[in-house]
C-alpha cells in the first residue's frame, strides 16, 4: 500500500489538519468532481459545497477533474509517441462530416481550462487534466485508486444538456453504483433563472413561444438567485496526492504549459479548410478575448465601465468592433461566468453599490429615480441584456423539452402538429395580451427570435381565440400545418437528395462550399461567413441572415449550416446553436416560422449602412463605391468591375443567388399623408422618445414607431417581391422626416422627426448612420427604438435609406434563384 503523503497538500490550516489526519493511510472518502462546461470557481455550487461542507460531510481528498472529451474534440494533438494513432478517431458532425470543434473554440477552451487550473492552484488546490472519454477516464481512476486501497466517497458533476452529455452522466452514475460511491448530479446554475424557480410544473409545460415564457418570469430583475460567496483560499478539501491518481493513458500526453495545451488542441483542426481566404488586412476581430474565468470577469467589468452595457439596446445590432454587444456568449457557454453574475454586476451598477462604476452615466439610478419602481428605473440596456440571457435560458429549456428533435431536419414541427391544440391556447393568450400591450418588444430582440407577437397579432388573434381546438391544426395563422413538413430540403448527399432535386446534390455541395468560404456573392452573408472563419465570431444579426439565407433562400438542409457553426463558433453551445438554427429555419419555436425571411440586401442597407462591415471582411469588394454593389457585386457596372479586378470573379459571374433590389429615392407615402400610417396599425398615439447619442445617431421623438428591423426585416419574399410589413400598434422609436436639402449621397446622421416635416440633417461626416436610441417612459413603456432618419432628398443610393420606405424587390423568379443548374 502506498503511503498517503501530505507534502503536496495545501498548506492552509484547515486542509493541513485534515491532511495530517490521513497522513498514514490512503484516503477513504475521496470526492471526484468532474468539471465540464462549468469552468469557474466563483458562483459554482460544486466548489462552494466542497469548500463549505459541514465537518460530518467533509471529504478527506479532493480530485477535481477535467477531461477533453474525445467525442467532441479531436484529441490527436495530444499524441506525442511516434506512430501511435488516436483510438477515438476524429469526431465529425453527422450530416456534413465537419470537425465538431474547430480551432477558435479549441483555443478558447484550452485557455479556459488552464485558467481554472491556475485559479485552483491559487486556492491551494489543483486540477487533474485528462484526455479521452469521461466514463473511460473515471473508470481508470477508480480502479487505480482501488489498487492503492483508496476509496471514492462521491462523484459530483453538473447536469448538462445534450444526449452525449446525458449518456456520460448515466455511465458515471452506474460506475458509482458498482463501486459503492455516492453519485450526485447538480443543477446547472450558470443560467439566469434557476431551474427550480421557473414555475414550470414539468418541462412539457414550457410555452412554445418565448414571449409567453418571458411573461411568466417578469420582472426579470427579481428572478436570479444571489451569487454564491467566493471560495476562500485553502477551504477546499485537501487535494489528492497525485501519486494515487492514474496517469493519462497511452498514447496521450498532458502538456505542462498553456502554449503547449493550445498547440495540442488546435493542431488537428487548424488546417480544416485548405483554400481559406486570406485574413483581410486591417480587419479586427469583434471577439479578441481569451478563454477563462479571469477574462470573463474582466470583460463584464469593462462592459459596464465603458458604458457598453448601458447603451446595449441601441448598439446590439452592430456588426463591427467589440462594443456593440456583450461578447459574453463564449464565456457563458463554457461556464466561465454565470448569467446571474452578469445580473449581479449590472445590479450593483444600477444600485450604485460598486464604486468601480461610479463615473458611468446612470450609476445608482435605481436609488435616485423618485416615484419609480425598481423595474421602471432599471437601466434600459441592462434590461435588454437580461432579456437576452433569458433567451439563452429558453433555448436550453427548449432543448430539454425537445431532446433530439433539435437535430432533426423537420425540427419540432411534427411534435407541434401533434400538440397544435394545446399550443394554440398558449399563443392565444400571448396575442390577446399583445392586442393591448404595445410593449412587446422583448419578443423580438434576440433578433433571431422576434416572436409571434411581433407580427400580425390581430389576424392571428381572432383565429387563435377560436374555441374549436381541432380547427387549430389547419390554421394558417399558427404556422403549423402538414405542408410545412413536406418542404423539400436540398441535400448535398446523393443518397439523401430527392430523386429530381434541383440543384443536384453535387451542385448543392458546391454551393455549400461557397457558402462556407464566403464567396456566394451575397455581401452580408459572405462577410459574416468570412468573419466567422477568421475569428470564430459573428454577430447575432449576421447569424440570423446567414441561417435564413441557407434555409429559406437556398432551401438547403439547414443542418449543414448548424454544423458549420458548431465547428467554428467560439461560443458554440448545443442548445443555443441548434435551437436558433431551427428557429430561423422555420422548424423551431418561431411562431412565424416559414413566413419570416430575411432579405440580406435590405438587411445590409439597414445594418451596414456605410458598407464598412462588408468591405472589411470581403476586401475584393472594398473598391466598389456603391452600397448595392458591395452587397451584390454582380450589380456593378462593367467598368466598375474591370476597375476593381472583379470581372470574371464567381461572386459576379455566377452568384449563388441574385436579389433584384431597388432603393427608392423617396419614402413611401399614402394619401392620408405620412408613410408611418401606411406602415403601422394599432396605437401609434402613445408617445415614446428616442434620444440620439452622438455622431451618426438620430435624435427622434414621435409617435412611438418600432425600430426598423421589427417591421421590415422579416418581410417575406413572395414571388420575388418583398411584401410590406403589417405593422402593429405602439412601435418603438421613430422615423425621421426627410431632411432639407440634399446630402449628395453622403452617409451622415439624420435627425429623425416623426411629424414627417423636414428637419435639418446633421451630416457628422463619419459616414455612418446608425439607429438612434434612447428611452422613453411615455405611458410607462419603453421608447428605445430606432430614430431612423429619412433619406435625403435627391440623395444618391450611397446614402442610407431608411427602412421607413420599403425598399422594393423587383423581379421575377428568374432573378431570384439559386444558381445551381438554372443560371
Residues that bind ligand FAD (CB under 6 A): 316, 325-329, 332-333, 385, 388-389, 391-392, 395, 446, 448-449, 539-540, 543-544, 547, 565, 569, 571-573, 576-577, 580-581, 584
64 SS3 class: strand
**488-524 residues labelled b (16+ CB within 10 A) or e (exposed):** ebbbbeeeebeeebebbbebbbebbebbbbbbbbbbb
Cβ nearer to ligand FAD, comparing 264 with 537: 537
Cβ nearer to ligand FAD, comparing 113 with 339: 339
CA atoms within 13 A on the CB side of 469: 11
* CB contact at 8 A, 377 and 365: yes
Report the nearest approach of ligand FAD to the CB of residue 657 (Å): 18
* CB contact at 8 A, 125 and 304: no
| CB within 8 Å of 733: residues ≥ 6 apart | 688, 690, 700, 704, 705, 706, 707, 708, 771, 772, 783, 784, 785, 786, 787, 788
Phi and psi for 159 in degrees, rounded to 5? -70, 130
Report the nearest approach of ligand FAD to the CB of residue 552 (Å): 12
| Angle CA 358–363–364, to nearest 5 | 115
- For 554, 558, 559, the CA distances from 406, given in Å and listed in that order, are 21, 12, 10
Cβ nearer to ligand FAD, comparing 328 with 627: 328
Report the nearest approach of ligand FAD to the CB of residue 574 (Å): 8
Q: CA 453, CA 450: separation in Å to the nearest integer?
A: 8
| CB within 8 Å of 607: residues ≥ 6 apart | 317, 318, 319, 524, 541, 613, 709
Q: CA 708, CA 713: separation in Å to the nearest integer?
A: 7
- For 11, 26, 62, the CA distances from 18, given in Å and listed in that order, are 10, 13, 12
Cβ nearer to ligand FAD, comparing 59 with 312: 312
C-alpha closest to that of 139 among 192, 83, 67, 236: 67
Q: CA 427, CA 196: separation in Å to the nearest integer?
A: 24
Q: CA 166, CA 173: separation in Å to the nearest integer?
A: 10
User: What is the three-state SS of 660-719?
Assistant: CCECCCCCCCCCCCCHHHHHCCCCCCCCEEECCCCCCECCEEEECCCCHHHHHHCCCEEC
Cβ nearer to ligand FAD, comparing 120 with 328: 328
* CB contact at 8 A, 698 and 787: yes
Report the nearest approach of ligand FAD to the CB of residue 444 (Å): 11
C-alpha closest to that of 105 among 274, 290, 279, 285: 290
Cβ nearer to ligand FAD, comparing 453 with 576: 576
The Cβ of residue 306 has, within 10 Å, a number of other Cβ atoms equal to 13
CA atoms within 13 A on the CB side of 294: 12
CA atoms within 13 A on the CB side of 48: 12
CA atoms within 13 A on the CB side of 489: 22
Pairing mode of beta strands 30-35, 61-69: parallel
Cβ nearer to ligand FAD, comparing 67 with 328: 328
Cβ nearer to ligand FAD, comparing 176 with 398: 398
Cβ nearer to ligand FAD, comparing 88 with 564: 564
How would you class 487 by CB atoms within 10 Å of its CB: exposed for 0-12, middle for 13-18, buried for 19 or more?
middle
Report the nearest approach of ligand FAD to the CB of residue 332 (Å): 5
Cβ nearer to ligand FAD, comparing 578 with 675: 578
* CB contact at 8 A, 342 and 328: yes
**DSSP-assigned letters across all residues of 204-251:** GGS-SSHHHHHHHH-SGGG-SPPPPPPPPTT-SPPBPPGGGSPPPPTT
Report the nearest approach of ligand FAD to the CB of residue 357 (Å): 18
**578-608 residues labelled b (16+ CB within 10 A) or e (exposed):** bbbbbbbbbbbbbbbbbbbbbbbbbbbbbbb
Cβ nearer to ligand FAD, comparing 60 with 383: 383
Cβ nearer to ligand FAD, comparing 245 with 328: 328
Cβ nearer to ligand FAD, comparing 526 with 620: 526
Report the nearest approach of ligand FAD to the CB of residue 547 (Å): 4
Cβ nearer to ligand FAD, comparing 446 with 817: 446
Cβ nearer to ligand FAD, comparing 263 with 555: 555
Q: CA 633, CA 520: separation in Å to the nearest integer?
A: 10
Cβ nearer to ligand FAD, comparing 120 with 333: 333
Report the nearest approach of ligand FAD to the CB of residue 579 (Å): 7
Amino acid at each position: 500500500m502506498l503511503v498517503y503523503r501530505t507534502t503536496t497538500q495545501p498548506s492552509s490550516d484547515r486542509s493541513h489538519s485534515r491532511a495530517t489526519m490521513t497522513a498514514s493511510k490512503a484516503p477513504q472518502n475521496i470526492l471526484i468532481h468532474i468539471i465540464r462546461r462549468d469552468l469557474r470557481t466563483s458562483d459554482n455550487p460544486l466548489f462552494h459545497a466542497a469548500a463549505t461542507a459541514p465537518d460530518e460531510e467533509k471529504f478527506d481528498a479532493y480530485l477535481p477533474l477535467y477531461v477533453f472529451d474525445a467525442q467532441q474534440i479531436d484529441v490527436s494533438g495530444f499524441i506525442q509517441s511516434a506512430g501511435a494513432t488516436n483510438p477515438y478517431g476524429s469526431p465529425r458532425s453527422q450530416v456534413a462530416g465537419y470537425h465538431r470543434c474547430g480551432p477558435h473554440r479549441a483555443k478558447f477552451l484550452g485557455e479556459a481550462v488552464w485558467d481554472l487550473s491556475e485559479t485552483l492552484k491559487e486556492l491551494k488546490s489543483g486540477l487533474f487534466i485528462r484526455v479521452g472519454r469521461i466514463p473511460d477516464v473515471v473508470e481508470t481512476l477508480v480502479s487505480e485508486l482501488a489498487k492503492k486501497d483508496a476509496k471514492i466517497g462521491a462523484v459530483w458533476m453538473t447536469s448538462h444538456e445534450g444526449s452525449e452529455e446525458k449518456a456520460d452522466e448515466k455511465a458515471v452514475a452506474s460506475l458509482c453504483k458498482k463501486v459503492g460511491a455516492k453519485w450526485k448530479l447538480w443543477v446547472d446554475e450558470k443560467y439566469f433563472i434557476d431551474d427550480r424557480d421557473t414555475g414550470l410544473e414539468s418541462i412539457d409545460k414550457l410555452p412554445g413561444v418565448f414571449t409567453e415564457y418571458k411573461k411568466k418570469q417578469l420582472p426579470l430583475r427579481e428572478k436570479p438567485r444571489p451569487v454564491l460567496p467566493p471560495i476562500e483560499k485553502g477551504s477546499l478539501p485537501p487535494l489528492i496526492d497525485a501519486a494515487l491518481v492514474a496517469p493519462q493513458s497511452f498514447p496521450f500526453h498532458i502538456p505542462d504549459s498553456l502554449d503547449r495545451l493550445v498547440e495540442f488542441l488546435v493542431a488537428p483542426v487548424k488546417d480544416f479548410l485548405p483554400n481559406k481566404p486570406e485574413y483581410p488586412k486591417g480587419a479586427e476581430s469583434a471577439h479578441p478575448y481569451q478563454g477563462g474565468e479571469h477574462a470573463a470577469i474582466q470583460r463584464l467589468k469593462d462592459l459596464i465601465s465603458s458604458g457598453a452595457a448601458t447603451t446595449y439596446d441601441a448598439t446590439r445590432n452592430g456588426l463591427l468592433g467589440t462594443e456593440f454587444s456583450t461578447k459574453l456568449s463564449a464565456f457563458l457557454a463554457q461556464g466561465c461566468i454565470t448569467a446571474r453574475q452578469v445580473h449581479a454586476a449590472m445590479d450593483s451598477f444600477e444600485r450604485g453599490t460598486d464604486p468601480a462604476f461610479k463615473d458611468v452615466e446612470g450609476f445608482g439610478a435605481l436609488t435616485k429615480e423618485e416615484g419609480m419602481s425598481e423595474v421602471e428605473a432599471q437601466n434600459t440596456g441592462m434590461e435588454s441584456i437580461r432579456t437576452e440571457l433569458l433567451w439563452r435560458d429558453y433555448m436550453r429549456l427548449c432543448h430539454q423539452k425537445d431532446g433530439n428533435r433539435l437535430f432533426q431536419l423537420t425540427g419540432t414541427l411534427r411534435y407541434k402538429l401533434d400538440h397544435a391544440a394545446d399550443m394554440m391556447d398558449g399563443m392565444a393568450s400571448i396575442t390577446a395580451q399583445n392586442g393591448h400591450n404595445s410593449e412587446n418588444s422583448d419578443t423580438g430582440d434576440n433578433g433571431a427570435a422576434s416572436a409571434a407577437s411581433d407580427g400580425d397579432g390581430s389576424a392571428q388573434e381572432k383565429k387563435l381565440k377560436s374555441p374549436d381546438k381541432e380547427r387549430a391544426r389547419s390554421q394558417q395563422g399558427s404556422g403549423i400545418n402538414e405542408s410545412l413538413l413536406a418542404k423539400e430540403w436540398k441535400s448535398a448527399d446523393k443518397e439523401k437528395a430527392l430523386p429530381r432535386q434541383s440543384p443536384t446534390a453535387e451542385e448543392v455541395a458546391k454551393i455549400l462550399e461557397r457558402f462556407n468560404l464566403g464567396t456566394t456573392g451575397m455581401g452580408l452573408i459572405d462577410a459574416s461567413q468570412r468573419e466567422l472563419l477568421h475569428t470564430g465570431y459573428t454577430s447575432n444579426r449576421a447569424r440570423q441572415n446567414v441561417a435564413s439565407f441557407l434555409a429559406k433562400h437556398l432551401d438547403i438542409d439547414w443542418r449543414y449550416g448548424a454544423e458549420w457553426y458548431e465547428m467554428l463558433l467560439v461560443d458554440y453551445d448545443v442548445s443555443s446553436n441548434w435551437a436558433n438554427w431551427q428557429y430561423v429555419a422555420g422548424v423551431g419555436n418561431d411562431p412565424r416560422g416559414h413566413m419570416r425571411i430575411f432579405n440580406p440586401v435590405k438587411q445590409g442597407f439597414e445594418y451596414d449602412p456605410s458598407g464598412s462591415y462588408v468591405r472589411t471582411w470581403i476586401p475584393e469588394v472594398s473598391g466598389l463605391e456603391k452600397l448595392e454593389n458591395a452587397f451584390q457585386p454582380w450589380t456593378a457596372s462593367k467598368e466598375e468591375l474591370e476597375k476593381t479586378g472583379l470581372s470574371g470573379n464567381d461572386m459576379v459571374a455566377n452568384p449563388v443567388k441574385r436579389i433584384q433590389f431597388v432603393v427608392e429615392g423617396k419614402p413611401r407615402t399614402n394619401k392620408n399623408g405620412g408613410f408611418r400610417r401606411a406602415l403601422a396599425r394599432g396605437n401609434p398615439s402613445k408617445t415614446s422618445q428616442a434620444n440620439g447619442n452622438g455622431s451618426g445617431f438620430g435624435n427622434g421623438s414621435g409617435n412611438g414607431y418600432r425600430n426598423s428591423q421589427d417591421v421590415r426585416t422579416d418581410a417575406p419574399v413572395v414571388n420575388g417581391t418583398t411584401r410590406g410589413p403589417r405593422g402593429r400598434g405602439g412601435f418603438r422609436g421613430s422615423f425621421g422626416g426627410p431632411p432639407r436639402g440634399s446630402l449628395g449621397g453622403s452617409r451622415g446622421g439624420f435627425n429623425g422627426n416623426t411629424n414627417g416635416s423636414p428637419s435639418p440633417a446633421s451630416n457628422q461626416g463619419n459616414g455612418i448612420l446608425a439607429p438612434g436610441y434612447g428611452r422613453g417612459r411615455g405611458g410607462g413603456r419603453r421608447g428605445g427604438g430606432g430614430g431612423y432618419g429619412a433619406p435625403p432628398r435627391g440623395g444618391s443610393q450611397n446614402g442610407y435609406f431608411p427602412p421607413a420606405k420599403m425598399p422594393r424587390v423587383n423581379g421575377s423568379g428568374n432573378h431570384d434563384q439559386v444558381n445551381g443548374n438554372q443560371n
